[in-house]
Amino acid sequence: METAAQAKTEEVPEELEANANEKTAEKSEPVSGARKAAILCLSLGEEAGSVVFQHLDEEEVQILSKELALLPDVKSEESDRVVEEFNQLLLARSYVTTGGVEYAKRLLNRSFGSDIAKRLTNKVVHSLESSANFDSLQKTDPQQLAKLFQSEHPQTIAVVLAHLDAITAAEVLAQLPDHLRSEIVIRLAGLQTVSQQVVKRISHVLNQKLMTVSGVSRSSIGGIHSVAEICNQLDRDTSKQMLEQIEENAPDLSLNIRNLMVTFEDLLLIDDVGIREIMQRVDKKALALALKGTVEELQDRFYSNMSSRAVEMMKEEMDFMGQVKIKDVNEAQREVIEVLRELDDQGIVSLGGSGGGEDEYVT
């Protein structure tokens, strides 16, 4: 009879693959997928950790072994976060395989909220259906992929990019011709589901670089969320040029992508100068509505730039509102984000992509 640890580790490789290129939410101390895997192996113990290695290929064994050898002392808090994330992924995977994606989202939403539920199910779906099919392309040099894609139809390229992680997809897009890049992005934004038969044909066209497709008949991929994630990884000039080209043909699509590229929580990364500029330009009631229901850390970000009397008045305004509709809060937050974009255009703050340096927001 297999132990509980062994039962868990049967699913470890797929979850490690899903995490391999994840960008951590903690901007100040990013943790790579390889390091997370090493921390998880240490947390599982020697016996269970050895079972993990049995399910890895030679390259993965080398990467994980090197990471384990170089791993510094791990704080208990970091270890707990990694184990908790892995447990969440295991739970999400069991829900997806039992009742499907929508069933998993409903159950996970009750425990973790909609954002985490969506993130977990996306990772699991990518692990179960997509990563195996496009594993060889994911590991291919982006320059080689760009050369390969130049002879392919834009729709074919969009399907493949939708299955790759945002960083790799952004690197490939940045090396494609301008006219081809904008057309691919428009097609990528319009993707919702792609039949596995189409994916099989793409695999054949790409000289069998992809693995044999299996699993469910259709996969949810692409859409404007994928485009927004890719644009966030591009350097500022490339991203701006691409969005301007999209706006010429599809202004509504361009606006939707821009809305997803910057979130209200990104205000946590704005310095005091930017926060004060926002407070001067946004209506006080709208700002109070936007902050209502957000995390205390974000509220404190604004309170720290206000006088004690202004803070008191802001809190009174929020209390006076009572229950408010989520759509009204979202609209107020979009108003704040639009002001943030204006500040970006004026050079007061900078919303840079991955090519813009270590700090995402600078004055």
Domain CATH number, residue 300: 1.10.220.30
My answer on whether 225 and 297 are in the same domain is: no
What's the pLDDT score for residue 63?
84
* Tally of domains in the chain: 3
Domain boundary among 244, 259, 274: 259
pLDDT of residue 306: 94
pTM value is 0.36
Q: Are 349 and 343 in contact (CB under 8 A)?
A: yes
With respect to residue 286, please indicate whether it lies within any of the assigned structural domains: yes
* Boundaries of domain holding 330: 262-356
322 and 254 fall within a common domain? no
The pLDDT tens digits for 181-239 are 888 888 888 776 666 566 656 755 664 543 332 233 334 445 666 677 777 667 667 77
Q: Is residue 128 part of a domain?
A: no
Look at residue 119 in the predicted model and tell me its pLDDT.
83
> Are both 34 and 51 inside the same structural domain?
yes
Q: Which long-range contacts (CB under 8 A, 24 or more apart) does 94-102 make?
A: 95/121, 96/121, 96/124, 96/125, 96/128, 97/128, 101/125, 101/220
Q: Is residue 207 part of a domain?
A: yes
Q: Where a domain ends, among 92, 123, 154? A: 123
247 and 292, same domain (yes or no) = no
In-domain check, residue 363: no
DSSP character at residue 24: P
Q: Is residue 361 part of a domain?
A: no
pLDDT along the chain (363 residues), means of 10: 42 44 44 82 80 74 82 83 85 74 79 84 67 62 78 83 82 86 84 64 56 34 67 70 80 76 79 92 92 85 94 91 84 87 80 44 37
Domain end call among 241, 259, 277: 259
Query: Is the distance from CB of 231 to CB of 257 less than 8 angstroms?
Result: yes
Same domain? 119 vs 16: yes
38 and 52 together in one domain: yes
Task: State whether 89 and 160 are in the same domain.
Answer: no
pLDDT at 243 (0 to 100): 80
- The answer on 284 and 252 residing in a single domain is no
Q: What is the pLDDT of residue 195?
A: 64
State whether 139 and 248 are in the same domain.
yes
